[in-house]
Amino acid sequence: MPSVSMTVNGKQVGGEVESRTLLVEFLRNQLGLTGTHVGCDTSQCGCCVVHVDGRSVKACTMLAVQAAGSQVTTIEGLARNGQLHPVQAAFREHHGLQCGFCTPGMIMSAVDLLQHNANPTEAEVREWLEGNLCRCTGYHNIVKAIMAAAADMSGHAKAAE
Amino acid sequence: MAEHGIGARVPRVEDQRFITGKGRYTDDINQAGQTYAVFVRSPHAHARIRGVDKSSVASMPGVLAVLDGDDVKADGLGNLICGWLVKSKDGSPMKMGPHPLLAQGKVRYVGDRVAVVVAETYAQAKDAAEALVVDYEELPAVVDLAGAHGAAALVHDEVADNLIFDWELGDKAAVDAAFAAAHHVTRMELVNNRLIPNAMEPRAAIGVYDSGTDAFTCYLTSQNPHVHRLVMAAFIGVAPEHKLRVVGPDVGGGFGSKIFIYGEECVVCWASRKIGGRPVKWTAERSESFLSDAHGRDHISTAELALDKDGNFLAMRVNTKANLGAYMSTFSSCVPTYLYATLLAGQYRTPAIYCDVQAYYTNTAPVDAYRGAGRPEASFLIETLVDQAAMELGIDPADIRRRNFIPRDAFPYQTPVALIYDTGDYQATLEEALKLADYAGFPARRAEAQRRGKLRGIGLSCYIEACGIAPSAVVGSLGAGVGLWESAKVRFSHTGKVQVLTGTHSHGQGHETTFAQLIADKLGVPFGDIEVIHGDTEKTPVGMGTYGSRSLAVGGEAIMKACDKIIAKGKKIAAHLLEAAEGDIEFKDGKFTVAGTDKSKALGEVVFAAYVPHNYPPDLEPGMEEGAFFDPPNFTFPAGTYVCEVEVEPATGEVDIVRFTAVDDFGNVINPMIVEGQVHGGLVQGIGQALLEGARYDDSGQLLTGSYMDYCMPRADNVPSFAVVTSAGTACTSNSMGVKGCGEAGAIGAPGAVINAITNAIGRRVEMPATPEKVWRAIHSNVAVAAE
Amino acid sequence: MYDFAYHKPASLADAVKLLADHEDAKLMAGGQTYIPTLKQRLARPSDVIDLGAIAELRGITEEAGGVTIGAMTRHGEVAESAVVRRVIPALAALAELIGDPQVRNLGTLGGSISNNDPAADYPGALLGLGATVRTSKRQIPADQFFTGMFETALERDEIVKAVHFPRPEKAAYAKFPNPASRYSMVGVFVAKTGGGVRVAVTGAGQSGAYRWTAAEQALAGNWSPAAIDGLTVDPSGLNSDIHASADYRAHLVKVMAKRALAAAG
């Protein structure tokens, strides 16, 4: 069996996997990082979105062996030193989640959006979320939360200048 | 308003775990020695099983067990049940075929469970399930309502003509007489499209048998763990009820689909015992969810409205054919009957209404309650029919509604279809919605859109629903096999912290926050000192779960009643400590006070005295823990007006929702932020039904919409942000909080508003889902008609 | 998914050799179509050769007035490339419409065209721009590359290295997505090039992307949406499914072509 090693949430991890093991299976089953969810089998729902080398990807559509040597961040690694990421905080503040199942993928996707586009319009947020399905919120408060996080983060960025 | 009291927009306490990846859903739970189950499902819509060759896989790597319908039968397990008996017009009980845990003799839909393979790893179970050889003899299939009646094929041999029941409600003679004398009759045929629920978390279950105690634990995606326990014990025979613990941990959405007792959860428990007690885990792949979760809706109706020359409704007559799929799911029978026809009065004072419903078996997935369950079908039918009548009579859609509303001073109001509405002010919600939507400014917006080449339309939907399910005696008299009360326990600790145990189940609704707000408000306990516990039959009192927008109106009221008992007991203790008469003690803001004095004891002091009863009333039990049950006296009746505005691109038929306004009367509101969120989500499910979603089977019964590649889920860019008002309340009279429930409203009211808006834009009605091609064809046919 | 042996060669030569050595081996580029295919057990390769580590297959360069894009360049990289946006903005815009952001972060040009899904977007761009596919063996003009649904001119042991896109005078892509999958239900790429007008249609045809020659002729002397007003599209040979009939697709081909022409200016 191939062995893989990668950095997950800042920690060096490794293990033996089958070639066919998906990144999401490695994260959930071998590392116990169950915050990354599986909501479909056709790479559309986005419940499994994580960051690999800084960009959002669907962990159900990447083999664990493909991610060897990469830097992986999951929802569990987003908060730093007990401090929520502004996107996480905004989701709570603006009720951007209900059942919570799509939420980790939604947040990881949103964080990537704001890396690309610090001040997206509502339409840009909605388009970006094409790969993230939510059945509870009607997206209204997710969009609101992401817009608020963008404002918050750019405010901080300005303050730091 | 207190920071965490009633009416406060309190951020949810449950969110911390969900936004940090610490939620604990069924598939996140792993047990020592866990094994994996994969179900072998029928590839045919209808076939006889000639044989299952278990030997073909028994020796494959890791395989621990291969079980099929014969094993189920040999072990004496019972069949799945339908818990609501509906009677036909002639008084005969509905006709049902058996619904086994694993197919016996025949398979009846693509996805029907044939066998289960249990193996050491998921991949091994999957490999073996794929390799299992099943010999089928294909049979002709009944794939839709059109084909069910008079079909040569019978889904169940014992159910003639595939007709489960032929049911009616209302005074047919009075309705027929009103139609005979009517000035105008509006008639339409309409389809309520079949939907697939698609909670983002697929169903899952883990069965664990402990031979030491001869007891089972089942973790599963359930909206009602106690109902699961009851049915799995009393009807399936998995274990006696006291030997079965059912845990619904964090559940990733339900929308009805996780109410029902399915075969999979029963099988994993049974299989765990068969393999000697190792835990057996099953998690559905999304493709499996599409095939095997109970679907929703799927009606074909003929609706007629009789009117006088002024546009007053005189009578309504409806015939509905309902597709219930291959087996009767848990509550399937009540959806197209008591949750549907009883709502056909809508918000109107139509004096006579008659509805009859024929329910059919087909070789498709079982159909049961999906968000709204019967009420969306009723609301859509009424609201499109009313719009059609307005169009035919040349009356403004808002005017025809105003003319026919039940007036605000007519409550309580007995409808001709059994329900008694307690409160409402339909004109008020309509007027507020019209104002917010700038209904008056619409003609100018339409003209402006026309200059851009777009067809703009506006549509109204004035929905009503019956929620707070349900008064037990009423539903019992109508055939329900259970009571629909709810229970709660409020438990103080020595230090004044509170655990609230509820029989409802939260899977997105935010009970942990809303219920804590209720207690904080009622008992004056700090919000942060309250913990709401649900979802585990070993922890919580007996309960009936969450569906039908019942959790607050019924479960919340049980909490209120338990709090009343806490206060009553506290008064006794306070009276003793304050050396006053019990009747002189008042409770307010967390303090017991001797009326007219400044002598008081804080609730915390009273609680402490109850646990350290050194100075205590001699005849009083120590402790501060009270339970209560609540059985509501009536349903609740949330209602509101939705206004949808669309722009249609005539070249392609694309529909863009440019504005959507929702004004709801939910009675009093505990947490407006959560309630608005419930509306948003419901609206998008309703918009999804109207524009995007529709389950389709082909002529052989194969599901064509079996993945997100083909089943069109609403995405963020399909919908706008919404204008939502939830403060237009008339307090409900069936509970002390005055609440009505908000979980289903959006899905009930939205489809009618969207379709009416499209009709308004293009001049003719399009069946749901109004896909671009259908809309384009409708526009195109209009052009052709105009050119003639 | 069935298990397989996994290889991640560091050079194109190594990849070619692995392909030659393993009869049932399959190449994997970004995996955004291939992994879902494996998950559904629709393919059972003995070996999977991951092209992700081959540096020579990546990158975007300006060349001979056009752009050359390495086969393993991600859709997102094309969409965001300053070079592509400057030289052929229509191509960057098309890449932005493929899949969703996460798919664009992994999916590749080479993978997309080698798979030749009839509902994919890139084949429309290659045909519309008259691109040239550079492989481990040769150069193939786009007109000869796509040979049918999920079929290409690639030989079994041939790997796409890059695609060269000449710069058009004007170009645009208009897409009507399948509402569920968001693949192209009808996509039309129009380009006015030194060599003439090219109109490519993807998503609609049963055999994959094709050129709409009648429109090319109509536009040759009159580059404007009105030039195709008189044309009708024959629905025979177009896809018909639960999302759109062939008639509707035929109608959309014309509507999308006009949108693209309007956008191209």
CATH of the domain at B65: 3.90.1170.50
Shortest distance between the Cα of A90 and any Cα of chain C, in A, equals 21
- In the prediction, which pLDDT does B785 show? 39
**Residue of A47, A58, A140 to mutate, interface with B, max B Cβ within 10 Å:** A140
CA distances from B11 to A137, B674, B680 (A): 15, 9, 17
Half-sphere exposure of B115 (CA within 13 A, CB side): 27
Closest Cβ opposite residue A42 in set C31, C36, C52:
C36
Q: So what's the architecture of C5-49 in CATH?
A: 2-Layer Sandwich (3.30)
Question: What is the SS3 assignment for B510?
Answer: coil
Q: Provide the pairing of β-strand B455-464 with B639-649.
A: antiparallel
Contact, B411 vs B620, CB < 8 A? no
Q: If contacts are CB pairs under 8 Å, which of residues 119-158 in chain A contact chain B?
A: 122-123, 125-127, 129-130, 132-144
Structural domains of chain A, with CATH:
3-77 (3.10.20.30), 86-160 (1.10.150.120)
Rounded-to-integer distance, Cα A115 and Cα A148, Å? 15
pLDDT band, very low/low/confident/very high, at B727 (cuts 50, 70, 90): confident
Contact C180 B709 (CB under 8 A): yes
B121 touches chain C (CB under 8 A): no
Q: How far is CA C254 from CA C117, C175, C190, C247, C261, in A?
A: 21, 12, 12, 11, 10
Listed in order, the ranges of chain C carrying CATH 3.30.465.10 are 57-165
pLDDT more than 90, % of chain B: 97
**Residue B398 preceded by cis peptide, ω within 30:** no
DSSP B528-592: GGEEEE-SBTTTSPP---S-TT-IIIIIIHHHHHHHHHHHHHHHHHHHHHHT--GGGEEEETTEE
CA distance B2 to B6: 8
- Return mean pLDDT, chain C: 97
Q: Are residues B443 and B460 in the same domain?
A: yes
Tens of pLDDT, residues B40-68? 999 999 999 999 999 989 999 999 999 99
Alpha helices in chain C (DSSP H): 12-21, 34-39, 75-80, 82-87, 89-96, 101-106, 109-115, 122-129, 142-145, 213-220, 246-264
Q: Of B552, B569, B561, whose CA–CA distance to B522 is shortest? A: B561
By percentage, how much of chain A surpasses pLDDT 70? 97
**Residues in chain A whose Cβ is within 8 Å of chain C:** 2, 18-20, 22, 41-44, 46, 49, 55-58, 60-63, 65-66, 68, 109, 112-113, 116, 128, 130-132
- Chains A, B: CB contacts within 8 A come to 182
Q: Which two tokens stand for residue A3?
A: 């062995």
Q: What is the mean pLDDT of the segment spanning A134-150? A: 98
Instruction: Report pLDDT digits (tens) over A2-42.
Output: 899 999 999 999 999 999 999 999 999 999 999 999 999 99
Same domain, B92 and B217: yes
CA angle A84, A90, A92 (to 5 degrees): 85
Tell me whether residue B480 is in a domain. Answer: no
> By three-state DSSP, how is residue B193 classified?
coil
Q: Mean pLDDT over all residues of chain B?
A: 96
**In the prediction, which pLDDT does A159 show?**
65
CA C256 to chain centre: 17
pLDDT single digits (tens) B571-624: 999 999 999 999 999 999 999 999 999 999 999 999 999 999 999 999 999 999
Q: What's domain C57-165's architecture?
A: 2-Layer Sandwich (3.30)
- Tens digit of pLDDT for each residue in B411-444? 999 999 999 999 999 999 999 999 999 999 999 9
Residue B772 tokens, joined: 């671009």
Domain range for residue B677?
371-466+635-787
Q: CB of B339 within 8 A of CB of B372?
A: no
Mark whether B626 and B650 lie in a shared domain: no
**For residue B371, which of B158, B133, B198, B573 has the smallest C-alpha distance?**
B198
CB hemisphere CA count around A94 (13 angstroms): 21
Residues 106-125 of A with CB under 8 A from B: 107, 122-123, 125
> How high is the pLDDT of residue A156?
74
Asked if ipTM goes beyond 0.85, one says: yes
Residues B527 and B622 in one domain: yes
Dihedral sign, Cα of residue A147, residue A151, residue A156, residue A160: positive
Which pLDDT belongs to residue B781?
Answer: 85
Q: Are residues B572 and B707 in the same domain?
A: no
Q: Which residues in C lie closer than 8 A to residue B651 (C-beta atoms)?
A: 255
B45 and B87 part of one domain? yes
pLDDT digits (tens, 9 = 90+) for B675-708: 999 999 999 999 999 999 999 999 999 999 999 9
- CA B299 to CA B190: how far, in whole Å? 8
The predicted pLDDT at position B525 comes to 96
The answer as to whether B69 is a domain residue is yes
Closest CA to B417 of B342, B318, B334: B342
Residue located via tokens 């509707």: C248
Which one of B266, B292, B318 terminates a domain?
B292
Structural tokens at position B145 = 């309502």
Option in C101, C103, C105 nearest A43 (CB): C103
Contact list, B772 vs chain C (CB under 8 Å): 176, 179, 248
The tokens for C211 are 């050129």
**Residue B784 predicted with pLDDT over 60:** no
Which residue, B684, B253, B201, B8, is CA-closest to A98? B253
Assign a CATH topology to domain C170-264. Answer: Enolase-like; domain 1 (3.30.390)
What is the signed CA dihedral for B263, B265, B270, B275, rounded to 10 degrees?
120
pLDDT value at B2 more than 80: no
Judgement on whether residues B755 and B682 belong to the same structural domain of the protein: yes
> Span B284-296, mean pLDDT?
98
Question: For B755-770, what is the mean pLDDT?
Answer: 97
Same domain, B548 and B675: no
Instruction: Look at A131 and C31 and tell me if their CB atoms are within 8 Å.
Output: no
For residues C180-191, average pLDDT: 97
CB-side neighbour CA atoms (13 Å) of A85 = 24
Mutation site for C-interface testing, chosen from A40, A66, A112 by largest number of C Cβ within 10 Å: A66
B partners (3+ CB pairs within 8 A) are: A, C
Q: Classify residue B219: in a domain, yes or no.
A: yes
Q: Can you tell me the distance from the alpha carbon of B382 to that of B572, in angstroms, rounded to the nearest whole number?
A: 54
> Would you call the peptide bond into B526 cis, given omega within 30 degrees of 0 as the criterion?
no
Query: What CATH number should be reported for the domain holding residue B600?
Result: 3.30.365.10
Within B8-143, strands assigned E span: 35-41, 47-53, 63-68, 106-107, 113-119, 133-138
Please give the Cα distance from B736 to B728 (Å, whole number): 18
Q: Which of C112, C223, C206 is nearest to C168 (CA)?
A: C223
Cα–Cα distance for residue pair C253/B673, rounded to 1 Å: 45
Backbone φ, ψ for residue B154 (5° rounding): -115, 130
Ranges for all domains in chain C classified under CATH 3.30.390.50: 170-264
Residue C163 burial by Cβ neighbours in a 10 Å radius (0-12, 13-18, 19+): buried
Instruction: Write the DSSP assignment of B341-354 as a string of letters.
Output: GGGTTTTB--SEEE
Q: What is the structure's pLDDT at B628?
A: 98
Instruction: Spell out which residues of chain B touch residue C3, defining contact as CB-CB under 8 Å.
Output: 123
CB C173 within 8 A of CB C125: yes
**Which of B595, B630, B665 delimits the end of a domain?**
B630
Query: Which of B183, B679, B637, B723 shows the shortest CA–CA distance to B432?
Result: B723
Instruction: Say if residue C71's pLDDT is above 70.
Output: yes
Give CA–CA dist C33/A61, Å, rounded: 9
CA-based nearest residue to B391, from B329, B459, B453, B489: B459
**Distance of residue A101 Cα from the nearest chain B Cα, in angstroms:** 5
Residue-level pLDDT at B737: 96
- In degrees, rounded to 5, the angle at the alpha carbon of residue B97 between the alpha carbons of residues B94 and B99 is 120
- Rounded-to-integer distance, Cα B599 and Cα B589, Å: 14
**Interface size between B and C, measured as CB pairs under 8 A:** 39
Domain count, chain B: 3
Spatial distance between the Cα atoms of B485 and B553, rounded to a whole number of angstroms? 10
By the 8 A CB rule, do A46 and A106 touch?
A: yes
Cβ distance of B712 and C179 shorter than 8 Å: yes
CA B408 to chain centre: 28
CA C199 to chain CA mean position, Å: 14
Q: What's the pLDDT tens digit per position in B61-99? A: 999 999 999 999 999 999 999 999 999 999 999 999 999
**What is the arithmetic mean of pLDDT over B743-760?**
98
Percent above pLDDT 70 for chain C: 100
Which of A42, A88, A140 lies at the smallest CB-CB distance from B707? A42
User: What mean pLDDT do residues C184-206 have?
Assistant: 96
- Please tell me whether residues B445 and B564 are part of one structural domain: no
Give kind and range of the element (H or E) at residue B627.
strand B625-630
H/E stretch holding A7: strand A3-8
Q: What per-residue confidence (pLDDT) applies to B786?
A: 36
Of A61, A113, A116, the CB nearest to C35: A61
Asked if A135 lies within 8 A of B255 by C-beta distance, the reply is yes
- Does residue B500 lie in a domain region? yes
Q: How far does A141 lie from chain C, in Å, by closest CA?
A: 20
Tokens 């799995």 sit at which residue? B232
Q: Is the pLDDT confidence value at B788 over 50?
A: no
Percent of chain B with pLDDT over 70: 99
Structure tokens at B331: 């509550």
- Is A57's CB within 8 Å of C102's CB? yes
Please, are residues C259 and C173 in contact by the beta-carbon 8 Å criterion?
no
Q: Is B225 a residue whose pLDDT tops 60? A: yes
pLDDT for the residue numbered B719: 98
Residues B521, B624, single domain; the answer is yes
Distance CA C115, CA B652 (A): 29
What would the two tokens of residue C36 be? 């879902």
C-beta atoms surrounding B452 within 10 Å: 9
Point out which residues pair with C160 in neighbouring strands: C135
Instruction: Tell me, yes or no, whether B357 lies in a domain.
Output: no
| Chain-centre distance for alpha carbon B450 | 40
Per-residue pLDDT tens digits for B139-179: 999 999 999 998 889 999 999 999 999 999 999 999 999 99
Contacts of C32 in chain A (CB under 8 A): 43, 61
* CB neighbours of residue B322 within 10 Å: 27
Mean pLDDT within B296-311: 98
Q: Final residue of a domain: which of B579, B611, B630?
A: B630
Write the CA distances from C97 to A60, B116, B387, B616, C94, integer angstroms.
21, 42, 39, 74, 5
User: Per residue in C20-49, is it b (16+ CB within 10 Å) or e — as a string?
Assistant: eebeebbbbbbbbbbbbebbeeeeebebbb
Q: What is the mean pLDDT of residues C206-231?
A: 96
Tell me if C180 and B704 make a contact (CB, 8 A cut-off). Answer: no
- Which of C100, C108, C181 to mutate against chain A (most A CBs within 10 Å)? C100
B762 close to B653: Cβ distance less than 8 angstroms = no
